[in-house]
Structure 1
């Protein structure tokens, strides 16, 4: 256990002596991580991007999105009000 504590980051507070799985949640979630970037390709990429954008706006308030098209790549940028909303949206949509 001593070796584990010595090798971990100062941001991690690992206090579980049985499993070593406790981590300070602030080390995992950054409160400013509110921008989700999704890159899509294929003939229906723009449609998929618009669908995801609409889902985010319907699910959460104060969501802003932008779709960028460059060559054959479509990039969707979704800015959430809170990082927790971003994480929930990613989990719900398997992103």
Structure 2
């Protein structure tokens, strides 16, 4: 796969000095990559986790969520139906 990407880089016509990367999105995103784990600490950690859970489930209704209290840290596990939903959620929420 990497060899194919290297071969196709010559086909990229880019005038941006910081740009020019060519990547097959399938090489970066795997279909099974649907689980996002977030950790929250502090007095309002549970509220933060619940708020993030609500945002995720409102945006992507099939998202499964679990909140776990682990030694002064609140862990939020979000399992999206599709890997692209996880990616969009991360981008939209700057995670």
- TM-score normalised by structure 2 residue count: 0.82
> Mind listing any 5+ residue stretches in structure 1 that lack a counterpart?
1-7
Among 7, 13, 22, the alignment partner of 2:5 is 13
1:7-63, CA deviations, whole angstroms, 9 ceiling, x for partnerless residues? x945x6131226651111111111110000001111111100000000011011211
The RMSD of aligned alpha carbons is 1.8
> Mind listing any 5+ residue stretches in structure 2 that lack a counterpart?
15-19
Report the equivalent of 1:60.
Answer: 60
Q: Which runs of 4+ in 1 moved over 6 A?
A: none
Aligned length: 87
Report the equivalent of 2:81.
Answer: 81
Query: How do residues 23-62 of structure 1 correspond to structure 2 at under 5 angstroms?
Result: 23-62=23-62
More helix by share: 2
